[in-house]
Chains A and B, each alone.
Chain A
Amino acid sequence: MSVQSHDQAGLAAGLRTSDKPLGRDDLARLVARDIKPGSFVNLGIGQPTLVSNYLKPEQNITLHTENGMLGMGPEATGDQIDGDLINAGKIPVTELPGASYFHHADSFAIMRGGHLDICVLGAFQVSATGDLANWHTGAPDAIPAVGGAMDLATGAKDVFVMMTLLTREGVSKLVETCTYPLTGIGCVTRVYTDKAVFLTGPGGVQVRETFGCTLEELQAMVPVPLTAAPAVGS
Chain B
Amino acid sequence: MGVDKPGVLGAGTPAFLTTRLDFVVNWARRNSLWPMPFGTACCAIEMMASAASNFDLARFGMERMSFSPRQADVLICAGRVPYKLAPVLRRIWDQMMQPKWCISMGACASSGGVFDVYSMVQGIDTIVPVDVYIPGCPPRPEGLIYGLMMVQEKIRGESLTRHGELRAEDPLAVGRPRADDQEVSDLTGPFGNSTQQNQVSGLVDTGAVGRPEDRLP
Q: Do A and B bind each other?
A: no
CB within 8 Å of B: which residues of A? none
